[in-house]
Amino acid sequence: MPWWWIPALIMGVTVVRLTWGSISNWFSSNKKVDTAYGEIVRQKLTDGNYTVVTNVFSNSGQKTASRTWEAGEIDSTLSSKLGNRNVIRIDI
C-alpha cells in the first residue's frame, strides 16, 4: 500500500460525486441470503456537501452492513430516488 493512502484511510475519503451505481454496487456486494432490505440516509451538511449512509438489514431487523459516504454532490439518479426524503428503504 502506498504511504499516501494511510491518511486517506484514517480520515475517510470525500468523493466529488456520489452515484447511484456506486451505491447499487455496494448493496449488491453486501447482500446476504437473509437480507430483507437496504436503507439510504442522506444528510446535507452546512458546507453544501452530503453525508450518505447505506445500511443492509436482515430479515430479523439486524443491521448486517453499513457504509458512510461523503460527497460534494449526488448524481441525478440517486437524487431522483431520494426525492424530497432523507431516508428511503429499497429492495436489494
Task: Name every residue whose Cβ is closer than 8 Å to that of residue 32 and which is 6 or more positions away in sequence.
Answer: 56, 58, 64
Residue position matching grid coordinates 431487523: 61
The pLDDT value recorded for residue 29 is 96
The pLDDT value recorded for residue 5 is 44
Mean pLDDT for each 10-residue chunk of the chain (92 residues)? 46 78 96 95 96 97 96 96 97 92
